[in-house]
Structure 1
Amino acid sequence: MSSVLLTDLSDHLALITGATGGIGHATALALGAMKCNIAVHYNANLEKAQELVSKLDSMGVRSEHFQADLSSYDDTRRLHKDVVDSLGQPSILFNNAGLTLGKSGVKDISEISVEDFEKTWRCNCATSYLLTQLCMPAMLEKEFGRIIFCSSVAGFAGGVVGPHYASSKSALHGLVHWLASAYAKKGITVNGVAPALITETSMLPGTNETLSSKIPIGRLGKPEEIAETVVWMVKTAYVTNKVIAVDGGLFVQ
């Protein structure tokens, strides 16, 4: 009897947005270890994208880097086209890129302009929706797809960054639930992972020591721990319509 878990990804291509950040980088390597081909998205850090592609190449998987500003719909469409033209159609999509606009610890709604609110929503939610929309036809044709959104515990409980960030992440939860229900019988699973306070990311609202004291297990999370959750969602066809908090016990779900 064959395993119900997908363990060989050599016939698959994963598009990972924000792949030069800690979580995206760790996820690319984790999927690469399963022989998955990887489309590495980056916005500004070309050097780190090149280093990641080099590591993936040494693991024997096909990989290329692709630049796009995911606060732009036009760049998002170009990203998808460039990936398809160069590597083929993604069957795994990890919508991981996000931003806070450098704002954190917001105490009053007046601190976030509607323009900043909309830009955050566009990058954290709307272009993830657009990429999913663009990737969906090929997934439907293959009757296989894995779509995973990187949310945040802020999407459950508001968090400490601000209303622009929390609302953009909670919007992903509704998207997960609608998509998962719509495509459950078509071989496509849709899930979200909601990290809290992960090292090697650009979104930590304070020092490691101060933030660690807020986590019940007493330390910050590692990017590899988020990547392991994403791998589980890729491997397991029976997991869909879930947003899983990976937060060291911070949030009671």
Structure 2
Amino acid sequence: MPDRKVALITGATGGIGRATSIAFAKTGQYDLALHYNTASQETRDALLSQIQSSSSSSDTVKAHFFQADMSSYDSVRKLHEDVTGVYGRVDVLFNNAGAVLGHQGVQSLADVPIDVFEQTWRVNTGSGILLTQLCLPEMEKQGWGRIIFDSSVAAFTGGFVGPHYASAKSAQHGFVHWLAGNVARKGVTVNAVAPALIKDTAMMGSMDGDGEDKGKEMEERLAGRLPVGRLGRPEEIAETVLWMVNTAYVTNKVITVDGGMYPY
């Protein structure tokens, strides 16, 4: 294998995706395939600049952006085709992209149409499973690979977003447990990280309501639910993802990074 591995990060321009991209760049050990859906050129350029300035390698880290709509399986297949067309393979897959589809703070099951459940599963879970199917054969062939899903503490507790989101995230866990056992002797680890409330993510941004003051009030109220008394930082999730990549003896795990919310 070449010394530098290839990491595909979906949802790379969001808070957790951005922090994880920079964390990988700092090691100098990875070239980066950065997925986005609707992020502006300005946003992508800013992330690319951060990546290049963060790299610890004298040989510039390669980083390319790839557009895909994660609600479309055809678009996901095209994403894999485009990434492997540039890099040849994917060594590390961080299935980070996710969405709540405009439904959060749900108070009644009747408020979420069944098609929203299906769409939420597709974006948060189904597309990650498809990408895993596409990337896994090369990982198995070379005897090394890392697959990580960005889940949520909502998969354990139900959370506050809604049943569509909690059920989609919990579906990731069953898949992680099955696949991890299936490939454990093939040099491929499969894990998930399950954050609680993370500052500066797209979901938190969409909760800001109609003003900055309201957003701060919401943030303080939510932080008060956590034993540590604050929201998490995207960098704390990124550090956990990097640890999972670096540690070959960790597989079949869902690690909560949640400020003490969930005790297991």
| TM-based fold match above 0.5 | yes
Question: Corresponding residue for 1:56?
Answer: 51
Q: Cα offset for 1:53?
A: 2.3
Distance 1:252 1:228 in 2: 20
Query: For residue 42 of structure 1, what is the aligned residue in structure 2?
Result: 36
| Alpha-carbon distance in structure 2 between the residues aligned to 1:237 and 1:11 | 17
1: CA distance, partners of 2:25 / 2:160 = 33
Deviation at 1:95, TM superposition (A): 0.1
1:196 aligns with 2:193: no
Matches within 5 A, 1:80-159: 80-159=80-159
Q: How many residues are treated as equivalent by the alignment?
A: 245
Secondary structure in structure 2 of the residue aligned to 1:33: helix
* 2:23 counterpart of 1:12: no
Is 2:262 the counterpart of 1:251? yes
TM score, norm. by length of structure 1: 0.94
Percent identity of the aligned residues?
55
Structure 2 segments unaligned to the other structure (5+ residues): 209-217
Equivalent of 1:240 in 245, 251, 259: 251
Q: TM-score, normalised by structure 2?
A: 0.90
| CA deviation vs aligned residue, 1:76-131 (integer Å, no higher than 9, x gap) | 00000000001221100000000001211111111010111100000000000000
SS of 1:38's partner is strand
Structure 1: gaps spanning 5 or more residues: 1-8
Q: Return the offset for 1:10.
A: 4.7
Instruction: Please state whether the residue corresponding to 2:27 is helix, strand or coil.
Output: coil
Which residue number in structure 2 is paired with residue 4 of structure 1? none
For residue 46 of structure 2, what is the amino acid of its counterpart? E
Partner Cα separation in structure 1 for residue 196 and residue 66 of structure 2? 27
